[in-house]
Chain A
Amino acid sequence: MPSDWQMPDPALVIRSGRRWDLFFNVLGFSLVILSLLVLCLLLGGMFRDGAERLGWNFLTNFPSRFPEKAGVKSSLVGTCLVMLVTACTAIPMGVAAGIYLEEYARKNWFTTIIEINIANLAGVPSIIWGLMALGLFIYLFEAWFGTPNDDVTGLGRSILTAGLTLGLLVLPIVVVATREAIRAIPQSIREASYACGATRWQTVRTHVLPYSLSGILTGSIIALSRAIGETAPLITIGALTYIAFLPPVPFTPRPETQGGVYGPLSWLSSEFTVLPIQMFNWVSRPDNRFAVNAAASGVVLLAITLAMNASAMILRYRLRKRYQW
């Protein structure tokens, strides 16, 4: 220490420290508010631009060459059906995998590899999933089983392919959510069940599953809301951008040339479009009048995803209070 060193005035040090503290406090708060504000401005702008098209007509019209007549009927139905397939594949598979990994699997190299894989899968860009689906579901299956869009073989560019792709995409989210929910259950609950003579499956069915249900539900809803917004993988598997028909309703008559009625599952192999793709199509048109439609479909899409996310949050909050240990 130099000999001419003097201790600084403590009052000064404290004051400058306080000033920096205040500065940082204000800075942090304004950054939070600023980023929320920018987003609100953007969302508000979109709402304002889309407002004139929003209405019943917009929801019940097919897409059209005329911007003022175009609507999202086919893409809305497509989104719902694809989500149905996604939910039916991702949730049972994810929950089963989560239960297996937590309750049944022993810790060995195999489960370690699976765990690392699940963690890695969450970081894979979604468009890569689309490429995989294109290569696997469409081309490889076609090469193995026959022609695309045949009723029996090959998955083709269908609702089924899209649902399976998105199902695989969100599977890691469901698995991770399930495992975390299960891990939160105290070991004593399981031990009590085993002490009464329950088998492992009975313990899972009567204790582990009911107690972790809220966590699993929340995770599933978040996974589905993520899947709804995904556009890229569906573009690579070739979702069409202009669809002016709905998938066949089960048991309605087929067109004259084929005769008979549609089977209960033939909508699975129908071609489709979904909301984000419809929106992408409208955004990327040079014609400015379609931008209004894009904004309106953005509002619809946003309303669906935000409603799902919010319901997941409320569910988590409400159900968390029910069990306490």
Chain B
Amino acid sequence: MTAILGVLLYESFRFFQHVSIVEFLTGTQWTPLFDNAKFGILPLVSGTLTTTAVGAIVAIPVGTMIALWLSEYARPRTREILKPALELLSGVPTVVFGYFALLYVTPALQSLFKLWGYDLPGFNMLSAGLVIGLMIIPYVASISEDAMRAVPMALREGAYAMGATRMQSSWRVVFPAALSGITAAYILALSRALGETMVVAIAAGNQPTLTADPREPAATITAFIVQVSLGDLPHDSIGYQSIFAAGLVLLLMTLVFNVCGYILRKRYREVY
């Protein structure tokens, strides 16, 4: 951990000797590889947040429903089969998901958008985000399910004794009681989505544009780092040092996320 922070800070420090922090944080253009280099991190941040948001919109409702169903409705035998199957999915390498996004999901979306007369570009954040969502469903489902199973049986029995249906007991008793664990699951899944690299590097295109429209192509922080690493920049060039600064921003974003999750978790913790 110390080594990570140390290296990132050291290299970023060399970067910030050339570029002012204000310009870095507020600039709206990111063109470190051009002759007229501009270093504004905002386009990369917007790209990162947009794909993450699309992923979260898919994964959080679906994952929560799956978890609730598995823990409250499914028979033990069904759960014994389905849960390992879901967990097996989290073992699929991300580059394989990137392949799905570019070659299957994007064409499908393109023909879907054609119906409304809209031409979807071949690289877009929407398909990357959707696939990321699919990818993190197992994380959300599996960890939330653990949290829901940990809710004491007595609470459920209390609800049933009051005449609640299974749905009422699961949504109004089990869900709130497990909320702290469920938040932890969301946070873990979202930091996965934030740091996801291969899917966006393959399917989202690599043009840093400041937009929150998921139909547009854009670059994320991670995709930019991959793009630079694949090229042949000399170590001392400023373009090279920029990937460390970008990495630092990404690390800080995940850190902020985790801290928020920690605070939320403390607030919602219920002790029995």
In the complex, residue of chain B having the shortest beta-carbon distance to the beta carbon of A288: B103
Report A-chain residues with C-beta under 8 Å of the C-beta of B1: 117, 120-121, 124
Contact between A231 and B134, CB atoms less than 8 A apart: no
| Other-chain residue from A20, A127, A136, A238 in contact with B222 (beta carbon distance below 8 A) | A127
Contact between A125 and B250, CB atoms less than 8 A apart: yes
Contact between B229 and A128, CB atoms less than 8 A apart: no
Within 8 A of B (CB), among A116-150: 117, 120-121, 123-132, 134-136, 139-140
User: How many A-B residue pairs lie within 8 Å, measured between CB atoms?
Assistant: 196
Contact between A238 and B134, CB atoms less than 8 A apart: no
Contact between B95 and A131, CB atoms less than 8 A apart: no
Greatest chain A CB density within 10 A among B73, B86, B96, B254 is at B96
Q: Cβ of B173 < 8 Å from any Cβ of A?
A: no
Given contacts A28-B65, A32-B70, A232-B197, contact A128 B202 (CB under 8 A): no
Q: Cβ of B185 < 8 Å from any Cβ of A?
A: no
Given contacts A17-B165, A283-B99, contact A124 B4 (CB under 8 A): yes
Q: Cβ of B166 < 8 Å from any Cβ of A?
A: yes
- 1/0 per position for A289-300, CB-CB distance to B under 8 A? 001001100100
What is the distance, in angstroms, from B229's C-beta to the closest C-beta of chain A? 4
Dominant secondary structure at the B interface? helix
Q: Cβ of B104 < 8 Å from any Cβ of A?
A: yes
Contact between A231 and B198, CB atoms less than 8 A apart: yes
| Other-chain residue from A235, A291, A301 in contact with B226 (beta carbon distance below 8 A) | A235
What is the distance, in angstroms, from B109's C-beta to the closest C-beta of chain A? 13
Report A-chain residues with C-beta under 8 Å of the C-beta of B134: 35, 38-39
Q: Cβ of B91 < 8 Å from any Cβ of A?
A: yes
Q: Cβ of B44 < 8 Å from any Cβ of A?
A: no
Report A-chain residues with C-beta under 8 Å of the C-beta of B161: none
Q: Cβ of B267 < 8 Å from any Cβ of A?
A: no
Which one of B5-13, B24-32, B35-43, B208-216 is at the interface?
A: B5-13
What is the distance, in angstroms, from A162's C-beta to the closest C-beta of chain B? 13
Contact between A125 and B251, CB atoms less than 8 A apart: yes
Give the A interface residue count (CB, 8 A).
Answer: 67
Report A-chain residues with C-beta under 8 Å of the C-beta of B195: 124-128
| Other-chain residue from A17, A135, A231 in contact with B95 (beta carbon distance below 8 A) | A231
Report A-chain residues with C-beta under 8 Å of the C-beta of B4: 124, 128-129, 131-132
Distance A310 CA – B91 CA, assembled complex (angstroms): 10
Dominant secondary structure at the A interface? helix
| Other-chain residue from B73, B89, B93, B98 in contact with A25 (beta carbon distance below 8 A) | B73
Contact between B88 and A25, CB atoms less than 8 A apart: no
What is the distance, in angstroms, from B247's C-beta to the closest C-beta of chain A? 4
In the complex, residue of chain B having the shortest beta-carbon distance to the beta carbon of A229: B93
Q: Cβ of B243 < 8 Å from any Cβ of A?
A: yes
Contact between B95 and A291, CB atoms less than 8 A apart: no
- 1/0 per position for A1-33, CB-CB distance to B under 8 A? 000000000000000011011001101110110
Greatest chain B CB density within 10 A among A226, A230, A291, A298 is at A298
What is the distance, in angstroms, from B143's C-beta to the closest C-beta of chain A? 12
| Other-chain residue from A124, A135, A298 in contact with B99 (beta carbon distance below 8 A) | A298
Distance A115 CA – B80 CA, assembled complex (angstroms): 31
What is the distance, in angstroms, from B134's C-beta to the closest C-beta of chain A? 6
Report A-chain residues with C-beta under 8 Å of the C-beta of B230: 235, 241
Q: Cβ of A315 < 8 Å from any Cβ of B?
A: no
What is the distance, in angstroms, from B198's C-beta to the closest C-beta of chain A? 5
Contact between A302 and B69, CB atoms less than 8 A apart: no
Distance A18 CA – B164 CA, assembled complex (angstroms): 10
Contact between B84 and A305, CB atoms less than 8 A apart: no
Distance A283 CA – B201 CA, assembled complex (angstroms): 11
Given contacts A17-B168, A128-B8, A132-B4, contact A280 B95 (CB under 8 A): yes
What is the distance, in angstroms, from A321's C-beta to the closest C-beta of chain B? 15
Distance A28 CA – B148 CA, assembled complex (angstroms): 15
Given contacts A225-B91, A305-B92, contact A313 B69 (CB under 8 A): no
| Other-chain residue from B86, B89, B247 in contact with A131 (beta carbon distance below 8 A) | B247
Report A-chain residues with C-beta under 8 Å of the C-beta of B250: 125, 127-128
Distance A167 CA – B88 CA, assembled complex (angstroms): 22
Contact between B165 and A132, CB atoms less than 8 A apart: no
12 contacts between A and B (CB under 8 A): A17-B167, A18-B165, A32-B70, A46-B99, A125-B197, A127-B195, A127-B197, A131-B8, A135-B7, A231-B198, A235-B230, A298-B95
Q: Which A residues lie at the B interface, using CB under 8 A?
A: 17-18, 20-21, 24-25, 27-29, 31-32, 35-36, 38-39, 42, 45-46, 49, 117, 120-121, 123-132, 134-136, 139-140, 222, 225-226, 228-232, 235-238, 241, 276, 279-280, 283-284, 291, 294-295, 298, 301-302, 305-306, 308-310, 313
